[in-house]
């Protein structure tokens, strides 16, 4: 069998066009991974390109793993020196070798979101800034987008438009300094630093340019400026760059992904060849029509129309439930019914949600109906407190300069080393220009209370022992020793609560991860292990063959497919998300629409859409209008039970309304407002004032709606 067998003409062309820039516009389900793997095989076997001259980049480890597996299956052997990896892990590999040029050392650690947050909080405290005004979360987002745009603190400050931005840039500068002092990098640094490295040291750049003669990038529509630049630098020499993507599936704009990277590819690279893959092998015609119906409402797309030879198919089923619990119930019952009738495995079903908060209700319903499920996303395994604690211990052993991890575990389990003591140690370390870890050697000099000196010395002593041990034993043994010698497990077991028992269970699971790593990488080092863990996500572990239904966010579902898909919460405010409606700009709404397109195209045969009349948000019941995306679906594709809005549903709610006192706001009880969609209504209660006011407004025939003055499209009459 030849490598090029079983490819359609377009796919074949994409596989055989090897020299020069190539843009493959691959619609959902058009055999994109197939093309990429065949292309790599073709390079190796038909053109005798060495595997180490090829670089294939994906966004998730799962995609990388899958690509490698499919390639090895195709060529019936394993390839070692071929780089198939994510942006992040490829860049970590490069940094491990070259980072010293930038003044870090090669044992750097990676800070995740929570670590970033801790560091930002420390800096805010140092700078005497109010956490309420400068929320760590928004600061981090801002810094992240600066980095994604390759802006240094100095260059960012030049574009600052107001005082707040200027302060943010100051924080950014301090943050970057502290990271370097801790010999740590955050997720964005991983890629940005490689770009800076390449720009600084042409020799290093040339080395990698020379090595990677053929570059392939998957999901190109999701690249940000920084990733774009990285690829541009690498491909500058040979121009053999093949990017695959679908502008309709660009859903990471909020993370800095710039859809223009794919839209302008042909202008960026001269003599670009464009190949469109439009035949869909996944879904029925009905599902494709539904998806096209929605996405056609977006402007600024590359024209493309998916087609399939699987005509017809079941209609899209729409169900409106009373609230989120009955929505979950409907989904669960339907799954039970269908799996029984058609003897389908539970892994044929997926429930997709816009946000993770929706998971709780869905989970409830599935448990009540005894349906095996697993949740992908939400609180991640590696985000759990106990796992982060253990990892923090390991990270200090790799890199004792890592202050964030040190602060995390210095008093976990409790040893009587509190915040005051920490402050003393930190001040002393700063004065003497040493790390806090080193300062632990001389607590007396640091001026800590006499009560704390012994605990500090004991702590330092076991940590030093762990460092020695880490050099001569495997990670499982090391972790076990840490858990025992620090008394961590003991403290948990003494608690005798269900919660503590779960934590112990989680730690055991972590130990099975370390064991797996030790077995697969004999003599493997701690640095690599901790870095790999940091870059690992829930979805990477995902096994689609497991007998359970999948509950996940639409973002997590990208790249996956299921025979039956449920999309829950199709309501204005949920999907599209309130923030995109609120932002008032069309860009964000279009991204929501693309998200909807991605969700729909996950389905192979059956698609169910659900929403609810009322839903608990923020601990209070809210009614949302049905999602605008439902109106965009061609009517003839939809099947739904006839449901009439009864007045009873709403009058029942009226009794529970409490009229609060009228504030001096312009919204008064008894007053009238006009709503863009629902017409004129009477205010029955007001809570708060001004734009923050929460109103209950009665609309004729619609009942009482809860509205937030600032978000709702209303005006006072």
Coil, strand, or helix at residue 401?
coil
Per rule CB under 7 A, count of chain residues that contact DNA: 49
Minimum distance, C-beta of residue 58 to DNA, in the bound complex (Å): 9
**Rule CB under 7 A: is residue 616 a binding residue for DNA?**
yes
Applying CB under 7 A, does 689 fall inside the site for DNA? no
SS3 assignment, position 585: coil
In this structure, the dihedral spanned by the alpha carbons of residues 451, 457, 462 and 468, taken in order and rounded to 10 degrees, is 170
Distance CA 198, CA 205 (A): 5
What is the C-alpha separation between 510 and 496, in angstroms, rounded?
Answer: 20
User: Which tokens go with 371?
Assistant: 């349906």
Query: Is 31 labeled as ligand-binding?
Result: yes
Is 219 annotated in the active site?
yes
Confirm or reject binding of residue 86 to DNA (CB under 7 A).
yes
- From residue 520 to residue 539, the character string flagging contacts with DNA as x (rule: CB under 7 A) and all else as - is ---------------x-xxx
- Annotation marks residue 649 as catalytic: no
The catalytic residue among 16, 17, 33, 279 is 33
Tally helices (H) and strands (E) across the chain: 31, 22
Q: Within a 10 A sphere around the Cβ of 697, how many other Cβ atoms?
A: 25
**By rule CB under 7 A, what string of x and - marks binding of each residue 239-268 to DNA?**
------------x--xx-------------
Residue given tokens 């596989």 in the structure block: 15
Q: What is the dihedral of CA 596, 601, 603, 607, to 10 degrees?
A: 50
CA distances from 527 to 70, 397, 438 (A): 29, 9, 20
Phi, psi at residue 41, to the nearest 5°? -60, -40
Catalytic residue chosen out of the listed positions 218, 222, 289, 527: 218
Does residue number 612 form part of the binding site for DNA (CB under 7 A)? Answer: no
Q: Does 597 bind DNA (CB under 7 A)?
A: no
Residues 388-427 that bind DNA (CB under 7 A): 411, 414-421
Q: Does 28 belong to an annotated binding site?
A: yes
188 vs 474, beta carbon nearer DNA: 188
Q: Which residue of 6, 78, 106, 113 would you call a contact of DNA, by CB under 7 A? A: 113
Q: Enumerate the β-bridge partners of residue 90.
A: none
Whether 141 is a known active-site residue: answer no
> Least separation, in Å, of the C-beta of 167 and DNA?
17
Geometric angle at alpha carbon 391, from 390 and 393, rounded to 5°: 70
Residues making up the chain, counted from first to last = 717
Cβ 23 to DNA shortest distance, Å: 23
Give 137 or 202: the residue with its C-beta nearer to DNA.
Answer: 137
Tell me which residues in 344-363 interact with DNA (CB under 7 A).
354-357
The minimum distance between CB 360 and DNA, in angstroms, equals 7
Nearby residues of 425 by Cβ (< 8 Å), 6 or more positions away:
436, 439, 440, 443, 446, 448, 456
Crossing angle, helix 450-472 and helix 385-398, to 10 degrees? Answer: 70
How far apart are alpha carbons 609 and 640 in whole angstroms? 10
Q: Nearest distance from residue 578's CB to DNA, in Å?
A: 8
Our CB check for DNA shows the closer of 120 and 275 to be 120
Q: How far is the CB of 228 from DNA (least distance, A)?
A: 15
Strands (E), 174-233: 184-186, 214-217
Is 218 catalytic? The answer is: yes
Our CB check for DNA shows the closer of 355 and 653 to be 355
Nearer Cβ to DNA, position 27 or 443? 443
* Interaction pattern, residues 161-190, with DNA; x per rule: CB under 7 A: --------------------------xx--
d(CA 685, CA 658): 7
Residue 227 near residue 87, CB atoms below 8 Å: yes
33 annotated as ligand-binding: yes
Q: Which helix (H) or strand (E) holds 84?
A: strand 83-86
- We find the least distance from the C-beta atom of residue 620 to DNA, in angstroms, to be 8
What DSSP string describes 660-678?
Answer: PPP-SSS--TT-EEEETTT
Under rule CB under 7 A, which residues in 185-244 are in contact with DNA? 187-188
Residues assigned a catalytic role: 32-33, 218-219, 249, 602
Residue positions forming the annotated binding site for ATP:
26-33
- Residues near DNA, by CB under 7 A: 59-61, 86-88, 112-113, 121, 131-132, 135, 137, 187-188, 251, 254-255, 354-357, 377, 411, 414-421, 449, 451-452, 535, 537-539, 553, 555-556, 577, 579-580, 588, 616, 618-619
Residue positions forming the annotated binding site:
26-33
């Amino acid at each position: 069998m030849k490598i090029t067998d079983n490819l359609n003409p377009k796919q074949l062309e994409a596989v055989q066009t090897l020299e020069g820039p190539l843009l493959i516009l691959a619609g959902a389900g058009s055999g994109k991974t197939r093309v990429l793997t065949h292309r790599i095989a073709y390079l190796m076997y038909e053109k005798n390109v060495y595997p180490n001259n090829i670089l294939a980049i994906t966004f998730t480890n799962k995609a990388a793993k899958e690509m490698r597996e499919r390639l090895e299956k195709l060529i019936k052997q394993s390839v070692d020196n071929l780089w198939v990896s994510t942006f992040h892990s490829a860049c970590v590999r490069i940094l491990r070798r070259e980072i010293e040029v930038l003044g870090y050392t090669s044992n750097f650690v990676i800070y995740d979101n929570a670590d970033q947050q801790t560091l930002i909080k420390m800096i805010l405290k140092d700078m005497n800034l109010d956490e309420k005004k400068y929320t760590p979360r928004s600061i981090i987002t801002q810094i992240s987008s600066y980095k994604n745009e390759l802006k240094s603190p100095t260059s960012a400050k030049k574009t600052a438009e107001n005082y707040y931005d200027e302060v943010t840039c100051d924080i950014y500068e301090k943050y970057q300094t502290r990271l370097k002092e801790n010999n740590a990098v955050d997720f964005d640094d991983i890629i940005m630093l490689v770009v800076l490295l390449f720009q600084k040291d042409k020799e290093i750049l040339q080395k990698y340019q020379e090595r990677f003669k053929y570059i392939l990038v998957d999901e190109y529509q999701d690249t940000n400026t920084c990733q774009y630049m990285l690829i541009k630098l690498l491909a500058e020499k040979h121009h053999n760059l093949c990017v695959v993507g679908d502008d309709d599936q660009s859903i990471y704009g909020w993370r800095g992904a710039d859809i223009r990277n794919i839209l302008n590819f042909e202008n960026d690279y001269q003599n670009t060849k464009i190949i469109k893959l439009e035949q869909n092998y996944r879904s029925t015609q009905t599902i494709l029509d539904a998806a096209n119906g929605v996405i056609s409402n977006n402007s600024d797309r590359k024209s493309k129309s998916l087609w399939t030879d699987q005509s017809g198919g079941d209609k899209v089923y729409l169900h409106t439930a009373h609230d989120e619990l009955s929505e979950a119930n409907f989904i669960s019952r339907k799954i039970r019914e269908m799996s029984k009738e058609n003897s389908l495995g539970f892994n044929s079903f997926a429930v997709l949600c816009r946000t993770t908060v929706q998971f709780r209700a869905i989970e409830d319903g599935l448990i009540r109906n005894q349906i095996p499920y697993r949740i992908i996303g939400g609180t991640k395994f590696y985000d759990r407190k106990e796992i982060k604690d253990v990892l923090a211990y390991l990270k200090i052993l790799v890199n004792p300069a890592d202050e964030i991890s040190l602060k995390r575990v210095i008093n976990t389990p409790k040893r009587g080393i509190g915040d005051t003591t920490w402050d003393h140690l930190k001040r002393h370390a700063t004065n003497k220009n040493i790390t806090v870890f080193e300062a632990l050697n001389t607590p007396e000099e640091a001026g800590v209370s006499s009560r704390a000196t012994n605990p500090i010395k004991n702590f330092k002593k076991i940590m030093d022992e762990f460092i020695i041990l880490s050099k001569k034993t495997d990670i499982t043994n090391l972790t076990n020793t840490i858990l025992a010698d620090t008394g961590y497990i003991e403290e948990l077991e003494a608690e005798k609560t269900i919660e503590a028992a779960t934590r112990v269970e989680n730690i055991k699971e972590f130990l099975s991860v370390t064991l797996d790593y030790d077995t697969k990488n004999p003599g493997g080092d701690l640095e690599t292990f901790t870095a790999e863990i940091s870059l690992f996500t829930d979805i990477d572990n995902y096994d689609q063959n497991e007998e359970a239904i999948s509950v996940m966010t639409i973002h997590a579902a990208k790249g996956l497919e299921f025979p039956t898909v449920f999309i829950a919460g199709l309501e204005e405010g949920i999907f599209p998300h309130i923030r995109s409606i609120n932002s008032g700009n069309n860009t964000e709404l279009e991204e929501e629409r693309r998200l909807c397109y991605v969700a729909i195209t996950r389905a192979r045969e059956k698609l169910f859409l659900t929403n609810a009349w009322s839903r608990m948000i923020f601990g209070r019941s809210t009614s949302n209008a049905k999602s605008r995306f439902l109106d965009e679906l061609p009517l003839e594709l939809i099947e739904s039970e006839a449901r009439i809005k009864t007045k009873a549903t709403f009058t029942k709610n009226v009794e529970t309304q409490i009229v609060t006192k009228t504030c001096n706001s312009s919204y008064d009880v008894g007053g009238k407002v006009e709503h863009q969609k629902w017409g004129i209504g009477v205010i029955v209660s007001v809570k708060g004032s001004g734009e923050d006011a929460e109103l209950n407004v009665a609309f004729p025939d619609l009942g009482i709606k809860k509205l937030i003055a600032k978000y709702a499209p209303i005006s006072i009459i």
